[in-house]
Structure 1
Amino acid sequence: MVTVIDTIARPRLRHPEKAHRPDQEVLRKPEWIRVKAPVSKGYSETREIVRSHGLVTVCEEAGCPNIGECWDKKHATFMIMGEICTRACAFCNVATGRPHALDRSEPESVARAVAKMGLNHVVITSVDRDDLDDGGARHFAEVIQAIRAAAPGTTIEILTPDFLRKDGALEIVVEARPDVFNHNLETVPSNYLTVRPGARYFHSIRLLQRVRELDPSIFTKSGIMVGLGEERNEVLQLMDDLRVADVDFLTIGQYLQPTKKHHPVKTFVTPDEFKSYEAVAYTKGFLMVSASPLTRSSHHAGDDFARLRAAREKKLASAA
């Protein structure tokens, strides 16, 4: 079971650059990308838990198309350090502005929730916190440590910011030893100026590579969205860059435009094209690949972790 929840509801803000982005035409979704409205009993029960505790989920904030399926199974993703991001990425629907001070009780609160729900696998993510000296690295470590103490049987996956210009931050997080370290590239480098202007592509590659150097036992993972105007050869080069960094797990999903003010969808990639990307990625040496229109970083994270661990064991056994 996977759960992602932000424990404090805040007023929604928007960064001026994002708020004043010219309206973009939203393309009509093809049949393969459409999902049914969530109406199941499990979904309603999860929604009631979220509402009754005044929680905010990444599932809702990011407008994830898998919310019906995941909430029906009591799966979600914990978002720490508030819900206000210091960056204004053109693809993201999370609020942007001046964040609030960290909630020092949050690590224990998250750990208690994980233990109470009896989660086998939990995903922890956050907004970017460029306002903090360590980018929130210590807070990540404290959450990991609190979960280890409260629920020692739970495996932990983190989805982190890039800790750009935060010397020593990555080392703090790695020292806490999460089971999976995920940092998404989001898109190919040619799109960074318009899609992810606050980030640096090769810094993100190096971040993932550094995790493997610091602790080879930690699985590394990254994901991208397609449909943002990238060329196929750019996606293949990105795969090579991730393999040079020895990344284990790659996710590829269709970008969906949250509002008319966000970056437009340039194309809807077909299911066959996703299958082709998956096949090529496996030939390049990834232990795990998830590529489909509805693939998201934390979708099926618990099941995928079990498969990832089995794939590593098989690889080690064949090399012996």
Structure 2
Amino acid sequence: MEARLQPQANLTRMPAWIRQNLGRGHRFPDTARAVQGLNTVCDEARCPNKGECWSRGTATFMLLGDTCTRACGFCAVKTGRPTWADADEPRRVAEAALHMGLSFVVLTSVNRDDLADGGAGCFAATLAQLRHAKADMGVEFLTPDFRACQAAAADLFAATLAGLPEPARRDLVWGHNVETVPRLYKEARKGAQYERSLDLLRLAAGLPGVAAKSALMLGLGETRAEVLAVLADLRAAGVTRLSLGQYLRPSLANLPVARYVHPDEFAAYEADARTMGYTWVKAGPLVRSSYYAEEIQDAQTDAA
């Protein structure tokens, strides 16, 4: 019988290797001031790495408001009918990034299925603002699946890069997370489809100068064979960057943790991913999509 996730059950005792950094380093207050008035996934998704990342002077900006049109079982971001709109958000994000002294910016967003372009225009406008402000700014997108307009989003991102002055035509990392194995989508990713996510990643990987990235949460009840099958599918789609982390239940309203994955297992998955040809891999209990996204790893290019 197919395994089902049971919302009322949860492993409440965290193992010793789950150590969240709750500190307030010397750069934490500056980061907090710089992002004031903007949404960050650090806050809205209750990321366990907020203390560490903000103390390093980095944050992940969440575009298009704080209300998502979908209701994923793992996510703490509120769900509803978005009313928020701010045409000046791209400029304000670029201003905050400059104030923070960032050389690499991660941009994500809520799902905005209510918008004709799914929010792709806001990503493109923010990329343009960032690169016009600082031509060598590294940028990573972590986007929704753009359900009804994938090809249009890909065309827009390619045109935005091509339209920038020559020094600013740097590679873009385009990430979209498959999050878990296909068997668990009904409970974990309502409104999403595994094949649709793979379709978007194929489009991303096919754009000149764009590196495709994805991520999975472990500990929802998946098997090792299922995880390896997803990693193989992602590589076949052209993904070269990969993040693997432990799912941590953000609230009692979210799905339970079925298992805490040992760090040795994460290390084994990282080795498997390298063998498959991934050139950038982060794997560990507290790894999240944007965790140390700016880190340079292999000397190889990401143009697989």
Q: Same fold (TM over 0.5)?
A: yes
Q: Is the 8 A contact 1:62 1:92 kept in 2?
A: yes
Can you list the C-alpha shifts for 1:74-129, whole angstroms capped at 9, x where unaligned? 11111111111000000000111111242111111112222333321111110000
Residue 211 of structure 1: how far off its partner (Å): 1.7
Alignment of structure 1 residues 233-252 onto 2, 5 Å: 233-252=225-244
Task: Supply the AA of the counterpart residue of 1:151.
Answer: K
Q: What is the aligned counterpart of 2:65 among 82, 87, 93?
A: 82
How has the CA–CA distance of structure 1 residues 142 and 49 changed in structure 2, closer, same or farther, with 3 Å as cutoff? closer
Residue 269 of structure 1: how far off its partner (Å): 0.2
Does residue 269 of the first structure (1) align with residue 261 of the second (2)? yes
Residue 157 of structure 1 aligns to a residue whose secondary structure is strand
Alignment of structure 1 residues 193-208 onto 2, 5 Å: 193-208=186-201
Residue 277 of structure 1 aligns to a residue whose secondary structure is helix
Q: What is the aligned counterpart of 2:154 among 166, 170, 195?
A: 170
Task: Supply the AA of the counterpart residue of 2:18.
Answer: I
Residue 56 of structure 1 aligns to a residue whose secondary structure is coil
Residue 140 of structure 1: how far off its partner (Å): 1.2
Task: Supply the AA of the counterpart residue of 1:252.
Answer: L
Task: Supply the AA of the counterpart residue of 1:171.
Answer: D
Q: What is the aligned counterpart of 2:85 among 102, 112, 124?
A: 102
Residue 66 of structure 1: how far off its partner (Å): 1.2
* Runs of at least 4 residues off by over 6 Å: none
Q: Is the 8 A contact 2:178 2:216 kept in 1?
A: yes
Residue 24 of structure 1: how far off its partner (Å): 4.3
Q: As a proportion of its length, which structure holds more helix?
A: 1
Q: 2:24 — aligned with what? A: 39
Residue 48 of structure 1: how far off its partner (Å): 4.5
TM-score by length of 1: 0.85
Residue 166 of structure 1: how far off its partner (Å): 2.2
Q: Is the 8 A contact 1:114 1:151 kept in 2?
A: no
Q: Is the 8 A contact 1:223 1:252 kept in 2?
A: yes
Equivalent pairs, count = 289
Residue 135 of structure 1: how far off its partner (Å): 0.4
Question: RMSD across aligned C-alpha pairs, in angstroms?
Answer: 2.0
Alignment of structure 1 residues 183-194 onto 2, 5 Å: 183-194=176-187
Q: 1:280 — aligned with what? A: 272
Gaps of 5+ in 2: 1-5, 162-170
Residue 29 of structure 1: how far off its partner (Å): 0.8
Gaps of 5+ in 1: 1-20
Q: Is the 8 A contact 1:163 1:170 kept in 2?
A: no
Q: 1:58 — aligned with what? A: 41
Task: Supply the AA of the counterpart residue of 2:284.
Answer: S
Identity %: 46
Residue 61 of structure 1: how far off its partner (Å): 1.6
Does residue 153 of the first structure (1) align with residue 145 of the second (2)? no
**Whole-Å Cα distance in 1 between the matches of residues 157 and 34 of structure 2?**
30
Q: 2:251 — aligned with what? A: 259
**Whole-Å Cα distance in 1 between the matches of residues 87 and 17 of structure 2?**
43
